Amino acid sequence: MGLTGVILAAAALMGGLPEDMFLGTSSLAGSARSAAMGQCSFMDASALGALANPALAAGSGPGISISASGGMILGVEKRTRTVYDSFGSSIGEAEDAFNRDADLYPGGLAISVSGIEGLPEGAAFAAGWRMPARFSYRYDRELRTEYYALLGEERLTIDGSLGEFCASAAFTPAGMFGFGLGAAWVSGTRETRWEQNWVDESGQDVLETTSSDLSGMTVRGSILLRPAPALTACLGAEHSMSLEWSGGVDGVLDLPPAVRAGISWLPGNPLRTLVVAEGYYRAMSGAEFAGGDMGLTDCWGASAGVENRMPGGPACRFGFRYDRSPLGRTLDSVAFTAGLGFRIEGWSLDVGGSFSPRSWEQTDVTGLPSFTPGDSLAVEETSTSIGISLARTLEL
Amino acid sequence: MPSSLLLALLAIAPAERLDLNTATLEQLRALEGITDMQADSLYSLVIETGGLENIYDASLAQGIGPAELGWLRANCRVSPRPEPSMSPAVLDVMERLAVEDGPGDAAVDEWENLLVRPMPVNSVRHWDLRLLDRVSLIDAAAVERRLNELGPVSSVTSLRGSEGLSYYGYRNLRDYVAVRELDLSSMEVFGGLRVVVDGGGGRTEGDGTLAGRLDDLRSAIVDMESGGRDYTGSPVDSSALYAQLQSSYDELASARSVTGSVQRLRIGVGDRFRGGVRLSRGRWSTAGHDLMGDLDPGGLGDTYDVAKVFGSLHDLGPVTQVVLGNYRLALGQGLMIDNTDELMNRTLYRPLGLHPDLTPTRQFALAGGACEVRTGPVVAYGFLSSASRDAILNPDGTPNMLVLSSWRTTAVADALTETTAGGYGYLDLGGILPYGTAVGAGVLDVSWSEPLVPDPGALDIPNDSEIWICREYSDMPEGDGLSVFSVSGQTVLGSVGIEGEAAFQDNEASAWLASARWQNDWFYLLGAARRYDIGYTNPYNRGFAEQARFDDTIFEKPYYLNDPTMADTQDWPTPKPEEGLYLESRFQVSRQIIFPRVYLDVWRSIPWGFENYRFQGEVEYRPVFPLRFRLKYKLQDKKKMQDLLSTHSVTHEVTLRTMVLPAGNDMFEVDLRAGIVELTPNPLYTDDRLMSGGYLGARWEHRFTPDFSMIGGTTLWTTDGMSQWEFEDTGIDFLDGNGTKFYVTLKQQISDLIQMRLRVLRKDTFYPRTGLYRPDPEDQYYAEGDPDNPVLDFGDHAASYGISCQLDLRW
């Protein structure tokens, strides 16, 4: 196996982009309502939210609640090299590659039951499927000589997704306190394809592919506190028992537990404002693959969102999110989110979107594998997502 | 039935009805006239809205129809909603203050505290009111005179008719004073927490940015690698310099994309105690460099680059204030001391006095203790500080000069320790002479742990074509300290206020400034004369100025300096040695026509003897209330030294602003600006005689409700050598090349205690390129790290984004 083969073997696990290194890029696994409110999915009081935060299983009741979501993510990436004049002063940028990737994906489908006859007092259940992450990346560039003659093409594609079947149960013995437990069966695939095709037939074309299957279990637990009618707080933990990779690369990915906390608050005003805020922490420095340290650092994130019910109009939402990357400060990201919510004949139709720009130097990210040896380009990327979700609660 | 019994029954009867605003869910479910589901819905409505305004609001709850409403009307009641703990007017002022967080706004914290616990108006003196924004000496003295001559007021509005108090001054002080007594025994706790995540303002390109500084460094590194510099006979060790450049480059490169953050906590207890903490890191900032020294817990120094803390006690007998920790001191005309790190051009305003300091200022932060004492007619200040300072180092390791770095590197960070001490005393002659009259004198002593040794040999690239002439640098302080003695005076004669300060440094250099202001409700005329000797190098001088000390000097040219990061010196915030006369006026001709600000500054640069002037006039026409046109014209005639010859520039700039107030408290603004600069032709750049630039900007603020609003703005610009500066809602943006940008800001008063601001911006800049085809191999463009690979094509488009969020919690 040549150098590119070695790199690609690493990339089979880690991909070409930081987020595709282990569990893929986060997708809209909660409702579009939470997506619009800073992507506060832990405090998402919907059937889908109950899959991530079991204690909220009764949040969308009483009755039977169903919720489904899906969306699209548009990723735009520009890779540039700075161009210098003979004095060493930069005069602009040479564009090395411009990649665009639009993906439609399902977010999830869930049902929750609470407060109906036959259920024990204070009990609630939720079950469903959701897609917490996806692998999707397209990189394409033309290789040219210094005189701009076409030499060949280079292309990398990464496809796949990670889905989980989840079940949650919650119990609220008193109005001010509740707790919940959940479990998820995680499965998915990840496929990579890297190729180089040369115009000169004497050149050796390259085609490397990998295909991996992923499977594992995740357990979740959370508690809910309601110290006042207008205030709800949740604290939870999530532990991936193990995530096994087989196929292209074999090994077990051990991720440390994640701790989450959040609040939702009704300040009480004519706009019937709802404020949610949450944060998480994961000691990623302990992450291992096949028994080896992955060289990551601890990471955390915080987000906040606001919902206003405009008089005579839709619910108007906006939010903000900050994520500290486990790979380096240069990959920290901020996101602006916004959305609208409508109620139509008992149905809740929500639309939410986010925008997150990021720029980083490939050389600033320690340990990031490159699919082009010596590639040290500046990367500017934007991720724009839009999601839609539909929910209904049947009060029995 | 006796009427008293009837009244008693009437009073009791409503109380027996269930109050929907305070009822529990169980109580609502127990009502006979509505179902459990309707009760749930009603309960949610009450919680979500903070309470019903009247019984009819109950119909907004899902499932409550006319029948249920009728039943509720007959059997329930609605109590008034609790009043907000802060008035909407105060919240409006706080919202405005929330966008101001710079060294120039060091008193913002103090103003916020005063909004919560205003000054007791009947005991204020003019010294107190000079802290407030846009309150002149004449206004402050008028209030003191009113209180002394006519006695206490029963309401703040009673001040309105005070002789000499302008309406403008009254409007700017009324929110910060109240009729109340100091309550030193009060233990009422109040304060605020501000959290900011700064994902940038979309300002990543061009000079003065981190990208620009990295480019300068890289250019210097390439220059050294290619043998473009000859250090023969220079004290500079070229290999050590090369290593320093590489190290600085790596350090600054690691700061790319770093997200900024601010956590600022303020707390107050009654009228006695104030305290606060600030931890922050600027956007694209390098790490903290030994922040807090040996006490750096948990890697704080790696996370924050500014850490400040203070505690202050008030009204301890004659000691009106004691501050321990970080503080800001601004006295007189700012010639002796005003420790911001920003020089505010063409303004005489400064928040006077002693204040705790939680601003981002680091290089001029005073850390230690300070106090204010008032006894009889004496107002005195004493201060002592010990804090680290950044400095450019000479090759032998001695500090060359102090520097205020935009992006600090370890090459300059914490190079020495500065001990600052001094005192100032005023004798208030109000009552004997007109109120507002006082004379003062004080001293400042600054000493450094290591002597400064200014040496141009450490800065200047040796043996190059450029000849080092920088008179502003030649007189920079040397040795291990300096001291300054200052005298000042002020008085108010009718509607005229006169102020002045003269300061004398121990090297026999001096600075003085005198100003007079004549004002009434419709008009003011301000005149100021100043002179700052070239040897007056007091680092805390923030006197009125047209230019900073190193404007138009070699420090604006990083490619002429051994280490381009030394160009940070151009931000040194002391005035340029200059003398000049400044006249400013505001005049309201009628309700329709106002001259908001007209000024003329004529000044002479002392190092070079160049004479310059700048005129700016604004006229506003308001044909009907919701429509205003403002026309501004600027004319500047300036000379600067360029290589061995001076150049002359004449700038004309015209701005037309249209402001419309449509219905619903919306605001719409359009700005159109065009400018042109005429330059002396330079023999080296003969094609650059004329530069021009301009922009068209529009801004719209829509208030969905009094608590929730959105601001959207867009700007289109084109420049041909004349870059533009534009005021946005939260800062100033630099516009270069051609381009467009748009931004959206969402503002919400979530409750009377919480505000949130969220901002997103996109900016696209296009740089016109010429001379792409370069057949000479020596002159071709090439890619980074690959000089043998010429680039034939490259982009001219830069897109940058900014997302930031600010959350303010108050209690």
pLDDT at A190 (0 to 100): 84
For residue B537, the model assigns a pLDDT of 94
The CATH number assigned to the domain holding A8 equals: 2.40.160.60
Window from B385-389, B538-542, B783-787 with minimum mean pLDDT? B783-787
d(Cα B379, Cα B438) in Å, to the nearest integer?
10
C-alpha span between A68 and A171 (Å, rounded): 24
pLDDT digit string (tens) for A167-190?
999 998 877 899 999 999 999 888
Mean per-residue pLDDT, B448-462? 92
Q: How confident is the model at residue B774 (pLDDT cuts 50, 70, 90)?
A: low
> Contact at 8 Å (CB) between B389 and B407?
no
On chain A, the residues whose CB falls within 8 A of the CB of B51 are 268
pLDDT in tens, A128-167: 999 988 888 777 877 766 556 778 888 888 888 889 999 9
Closest CB to A270: pick one of B43, B49, B790. B49
Contact B749, B741 (CB under 8 A): no
What confidence score (pLDDT) does residue B491 get? 96
CB atoms A266 and B748 under 8 Å:
no
Q: Give dist(CA B19, CA A283) in Å, integer.
A: 50
pLDDT of A9 higher than 60: no
CA dist A75 and A95 (Å) reads 17
Contact A306 B751 (CB under 8 A): no
Among B residues 162-201, those touching chain A with beta carbons less than 8 Å apart: 197, 199
Residues 6 or more apart whose Cβ sits within 8 Å of residue B557: B567
Task: Take residue B295 and report the two structure tokens written for it.
Answer: 């006490």
Least confident among A81-85, B580-584, B736-740, B806-810: A81-85
Q: How would residue B778 be classed by pLDDT, with cut points 50, 70 and 90?
A: low
Residue B198 has pLDDT above 60, yes or no: yes
Under a CB-based contact definition with an 8 Å cutoff, are residues B502 and B514 in contact?
A: no
Query: What is the SS3 assignment for A204-229?
Result: CCEEEEEEEEEEEEEEEEEEEEEEEC
How confident is residue B341, by pLDDT bands cut at 50, 70 and 90?
confident
Are the C-beta atoms of residues A359 and A381 closer than 8 Å to each other? yes
Cα distance between residue B202 and residue B194, in whole Å:
22
When mean pLDDT is compared across A17-26, A265-274, B145-154, the lowest value belongs to A17-26
Q: Using DSSP, how many helices (H) and how many strands (E) does chain A show?
A: 3, 18
Q: Could you check whether the bond before residue B80 is cis, i.e. omega within 30 degrees of 0?
A: no
A287 min Cα distance to partner chain B (Å): 22
CB atoms within 10 A of CB B704: 18
pLDDT digits (tens, 9 = 90+) for A28-51: 778 999 999 999 999 998 999 999
Helix, strand, coil percentages, rounded to 5, for chain A: 10, 60, 30
What is the overall mean pLDDT for chain B?
A: 86
Residue A15 confidence class, pLDDT cut points 50, 70, 90:
very low
How close are the terminal C-alpha atoms of chain A, in Å?
63
Question: Above 60 in pLDDT, residue B54?
Answer: yes
DSSP H/E element including B141: helix B137-150
CA dist B602 and B604 (Å) reads 7
How many domains is chain B built from?
2
Residue B726 scores a pLDDT above 90: no
pLDDT the model gives residue A381: 86
Q: Does B776 fall in a domain?
A: yes
- What does the pLDDT look like over A237-269, one tens digit per residue? 999 877 787 876 678 888 889 999 999 999 888
Domain boundary among B77, B100, B127: B77
Q: Identify whether A395 is part of a domain.
A: no
DSSP letters, B256-279, are: TTPPEEEEEEEEEETTTEEEEEEE
Lookup: tokens for A295: 């060289």
B719 assigned to some structural domain:
yes
Tell me which chain B residues have a C-beta less than 8 angstroms from the C-beta of A147. Answer: 792
Contacts 24+ apart (CB under 8 A), B238-242: B240/B395, B241/B562, B241/B563
Given a cut of 70, whether residue B768 has pLDDT beyond it is: no
If one compares B669 and B663, the residue with the highest pLDDT of the two is: B669
**Summary mean pLDDT of chain A:** 83
Q: Single out the residue in B77, B111, B134 at which a domain terminates.
A: B77
Query: Mean pLDDT over residues B592-618, rounded?
Result: 94
SS3 for A48? helix
Evaluate whether residue B589 is within a structural domain: no
d(CA B800, CA B50): 41
CA pair distance B781, B794, nearest whole angstrom = 10
Higher pLDDT, B33 or A342: A342
Sequence-ordered list of residues with C-beta below 8 angstroms from that of B227, at least 6 positions apart, any chain: none
Q: A51 lies in which domain range?
A: 3-388
Alpha-carbon distances of B110 from B94, B209, B276, B328, B374, rounded to whole Å: 12, 31, 11, 11, 19
* B793 found inside a domain: yes
List B527's β-bridge partners, or say none.
B516, B583
Residue B247 pLDDT exceeds 90: yes
- Which CATH number belongs to the domain containing residue B25 in this structure? 1.10.150.320
Tell me the chain A residues in contact with residue B258 when contact means C-beta distances shorter than 8 Å.
329-330, 332
| pLDDT tens digits, B370-405 | 999 999 999 999 999 999 999 999 999 999 999 998
- Among B811, B708, B47, B86, CA closest to A231: B47
CA-to-CA dists, residue B113 to B17, B266, B356, B403, angstroms: 42, 9, 11, 33
Instruction: Give the angle subtended at the CA of B588 by the CAs of B582 and B594, to the nearest 5°.
Output: 85
Tell me the residues of chain B between 771 and 790 that have a Cβ less than 8 Å away from chain A. Answer: 778-785, 789-790
Query: CA-to-CA distance for B89 and B115, rounded, in angstroms?
Result: 10
- Cα–Cα distance between B127 and B710 in angstroms, integer? 39
Beta-bridge mates of residue B766:
B738, B797
Query: A94 - beta bridge partners?
Result: A81
Cβ contact, residue pair A83, B783, below 8 Å: yes
Share of chain B above pLDDT 70, in %: 88
B758: which chain A residues are within 8 Å (Cβ-Cβ)?
318-320, 336
pLDDT band of residue A368 (cuts 50, 70, 90) is low
CA B501 to centroid of chain Cα atoms: 24
- Bridge partners (DSSP) listed for residue A97: A79
The answer to whether residue A101 is domain-embedded is yes
Task: Give domain status of residue B329, yes or no.
Answer: no
Instruction: Extract the tokens encoding B334.
Output: 């700012």
> What are the C-alpha distances in Å from B462 to residues B17, B229, B465, B468, B558?
92, 8, 9, 9, 14
Cα A396 to Cα A63, A128, B425: the distances in Å are 5, 20, 79
Coil/strand/helix, residue B517: strand
**Chain B interface, mutation test: which of A39, A60, A81, most B Cβ atoms within 10 Å?**
A81
C-alpha to C-alpha distance for B678 and B777, rounded to whole angstroms: 35
Instruction: Report residue A3's pLDDT band, with 50, 70 and 90 as the boundaries.
Output: very low
Please write the tens of the pLDDT for every residue from A354-364: 999 888 877 76
Residue A322 falls inside a structural domain: yes
B799 touching A (Cβ < 8 Å): yes
Boundary residue ending a domain (B38, B57, B77) = B77
- Residue B668 burial by CB count (10 A; 0-12/13-18/19+): exposed, middle or buried? middle
pTM: 0.86
B796: contact with A, CB 8 A cutoff: yes
The DSSP secondary structure of B241-260, one letter per residue, reads: HHHHHHHHHHHHHTTTTPPE
d(CA B332, CA B422): 14
Structure tokens, B586: 């505001």
Distance CA B410, CA B412 (A): 5
Q: How many CB atoms are closer than 10 A to CB A193?
A: 15
- Tell me the C-alpha distance between B793 and B113, whole Å: 57
Domain membership of residue B227 (yes or no) is no
**Percent of residues, chain A, with pLDDT higher than 70:** 86
CA B790/CA B328 separation, integer angstroms: 54
Report pLDDT for A240: 83
Question: Longest Cα pair distance anywhere in chain B, in angstroms?
Answer: 114
What is the structure's pLDDT at B290?
67
User: Token digits for B590?
Assistant: 């009628």
In this predicted structure, what is the pLDDT of residue B212? 84
Q: How confident is the model at residue A11 (pLDDT cuts 50, 70, 90)?
A: very low
Q: What is the ipTM of this complex?
A: 0.84
Q: B705, B748 in Cβ contact below 8 A? A: no
d(CA A39, CA A57): 18
Q: How confident is the model at residue B779 (pLDDT cuts 50, 70, 90)?
A: low
User: Is B581 part of a structural domain of the chain?
Assistant: no
Model confidence at B627, in pLDDT bands (50, 70, 90)?
A: very high
Of all residues in chain A, the one with the smallest CA distance to B218 is A88
- Alpha-helical (H) ranges within chain A are 3-14, 32-36, 47-52
Matching residue, tokens 């981002």: B360
User: How close A324 gets to chain B, by Cα (Å)?
Assistant: 10
pLDDT of residue B731: 63
The residue range of the domain holding B44 is: 12-77
Residue B32 within a domain: yes
Among A49-58, A204-213, A276-285, B584-593, which stretch is predicted with the lowest mean pLDDT? A204-213
Q: Do A92 and B796 touch (CB under 8 A)?
A: yes
B98 — pLDDT class (breaks 50, 70, 90): low
* pLDDT value of position B544: 94
User: What DSSP letter does each residue of A69-107 carry, written as one string?
Assistant: EEEEEEEEEEEEEEEE-TTS-EEEEEEEEEEEEEEEEEE
Q: Which of A96, A318, A323, A381 has the highest number of chain B CBs within 10 A, making it the mutation to test binding with B?
A: A318
Which of A88, A148, A310 faces B222 most closely, judged by CB atoms? A88
Strand partners, B374: B379
Residue of B nearest to A303 (CA): B805
Type of residue numbered A391: A
Specify the number of domains making up chain A.
1
For residue B403, how many other CB atoms are within 10 A of its CB? 24
> Is B257 in CB contact (< 8 Å) with chain A?
yes
Contacts of A325 (CB under 8 A, 6+ apart): A18, A299, A331, A332, A333
Inter-chain contact B784–A81, Cβ cutoff 8 Å? yes
Query: Do A239 and A201 form a contact (C-beta atoms < 8 A)?
Result: no
Report, as an integer, the average pLDDT of B199-211: 67
* In the predicted structure, residue B471 carries a pLDDT above the cut 80: yes
